[in-house]
């Protein structure tokens, strides 16, 4: 039906997200979202959007999307499965028509404002260390590198950073698992890393970076051995 081999097809995202990925854009611009609502809104009954996109970790501008949709007469709702307990939400003040989320992520030990403050610092620290140690080095093409897909602006993300690797993703994921790291692999080429402010520390982030280096070294060695065995 699709004219593609089974191994060439991956089930992921929605049509709009997939189109942006294929055009080399890993995240959606708020300007593009609002432009579509402005252009097509009169023919749209319901807008259902993510609060935080599960694959990229992008946090969307809920109040602006809500306002734009309602001005076109649309009901506007949000899937907050990855947003509740992750970022501050003000659904009543924003006038959101409806929303749903996972109740197991709700906790009462602290305030969301305090968690968010710590989260911004934790994820910022993780981002800094990844860029410091694992950025692409154009002068050293043999060096493995890590690319951060998630937006760098703190108002456009929660605690999660989505990473892609120059090495085979499954090998990196396997090596991290062997070393006791709890993370999440998503096809076709991403790992979701989330320092959770409720129980993760800055030491945990630093330790992860050390473990990541070990995992990358082992993955590179595995890739080299595979290439050598294939050449015989």
CATH number at residue 63: 3.40.640.10
Tell me, what's the pLDDT at 1? 46
Q: How far apart are CA 27 and CA 55, in angstroms?
A: 10
- Domain boundaries, position 127: 112-227
- Residue pair 154/120 in contact (Cβ under 8 Å)? The answer is yes
My answer on whether 211 and 147 are in the same domain is yes
Residues 125-164 pLDDT 10s: 999 999 999 999 999 988 999 999 999 999 999 999 999 9
Tell me, what's the pLDDT at 143? 92
Tell me, what's the pLDDT at 12? 52
My answer on whether 129 and 219 are in the same domain is yes
My answer on whether 122 and 221 are in the same domain is yes
My answer on whether 36 and 95 are in the same domain is yes
- Residue pair 181/208 in contact (Cβ under 8 Å)? The answer is yes
Question: Which contiguous run of DSSP H or E holds residue 48?
Answer: strand 46-50
What is the pTM (predicted TM-score) of this model? 0.84
Residues 166-200 pLDDT 10s: 999 999 999 999 999 999 999 888 999 999 999 99
My answer on whether 208 and 131 are in the same domain is yes
Q: How far apart are CA 108 and CA 151, in angstroms?
A: 28
Mean predicted lDDT score pLDDT of the chain: 89
**Domain assignment of residue 81, yes or no:** yes
What is the rounded average pLDDT of the residues 200-218? 97
Q: For residue 209, is pLDDT > 50?
A: yes
CATH code, domain carrying 171 = 3.90.1150.10
Q: For residue 106, is pLDDT > 90?
A: no
Tell me, what's the pLDDT at 110? 84
Q: For residue 95, is pLDDT > 90?
A: yes
Sequence-distant (6+) residues with CB within 8 A of 160 are 52, 57, 82, 86, 123, 150, 192, 193, 194
Q: For residue 231, is pLDDT > 90?
A: no
> 191-215 as b/e, with b when 16 or more CB fall inside 10 Å?
bbbbbbbeebeeeebeebbebbeeb
User: Contacts from 22-29 at CB under 8 Å and sequence distance 24+?
Assistant: 26/56, 26/149, 27/53, 27/56, 27/58, 27/149, 27/150, 27/151, 27/156, 28/53, 28/58, 28/60
Tell me, what's the pLDDT at 149? 96
Q: Last residue of a domain, which of 105, 130, 162? A: 105
Nearest in space to 165 (alpha carbons), one of 105, 98, 220? 220
Tell me, what's the pLDDT at 25? 75
* Structural domain count of the chain: 2
Residue 9: band (very low, low, confident or very high) from pLDDT cuts 50, 70, 90? low
- Residue pair 67/47 in contact (Cβ under 8 Å)? The answer is no
Structure tokens at 56: 């990229």
Residue 26: band (very low, low, confident or very high) from pLDDT cuts 50, 70, 90? confident
Q: Please state the φ and ψ torsions of residue 68, each to the nearest 5 degrees.
A: -65, -40
My answer on whether 23 and 84 are in the same domain is yes
Q: For residue 10, is pLDDT > 60?
A: no
**Domain assignment of residue 1, yes or no:** no
Tell me, what's the pLDDT at 189? 87
What is the rounded average pLDDT of the residues 82-87? 92
Distances, alpha carbon 158 to alpha carbons 65, 105, 154, 162, in Å: 18, 14, 7, 11
Q: For residue 205, is pLDDT > 50?
A: yes
Q: Last residue of a domain, which of 86, 105, 124? A: 105
């Amino acid at each position: 039906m699709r004219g593609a081999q089974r191994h060439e097809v991956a089930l992921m995202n929605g049509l709009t997200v997939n189109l942006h990925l294929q055009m080399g854009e890993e995240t959606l611009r708020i300007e593009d979202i609002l432009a579509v609502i402005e252009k097509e809104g009169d023919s749209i009954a319901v807008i259902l959007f993510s609060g935080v996109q599960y694959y990229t970790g992008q946090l969307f501008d809920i109040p602006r999307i809500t306002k734009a949709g309602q001005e076109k007469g649309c009901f506007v709702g949000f899937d907050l499965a990855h947003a509740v307990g992750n970022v501050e939400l003000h659904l009543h003040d924003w006038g959101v028509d409806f929303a749903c989320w996972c109740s197991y992520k709700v906790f009462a030990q602290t305030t969301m404002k305090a968690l968010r403050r710590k989260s911004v610092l934790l994820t910022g620290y993780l981002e800094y260390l990844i860029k410091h140690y694992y950025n692409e080095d154009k002068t050293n093409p043999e060096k493995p590198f890590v690319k951060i897909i998630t937006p760098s602006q703190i108002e456009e993300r929660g605690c999660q950073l989505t990473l892609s690797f120059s090495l085979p993703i499954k090998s990196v994921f396997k090596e991290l698992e062997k070393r006791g790291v709890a993370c999440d692999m998503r096809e076709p080429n991403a790992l979701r890393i989330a320092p959770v402010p409720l129980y993760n520390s800055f030491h945990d982030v630093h330790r992860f970076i050390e473990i990541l280096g070990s995992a990358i070294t082992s993955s590179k060695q595995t890739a080299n051995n595979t290439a050598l065995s294939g050449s015989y």
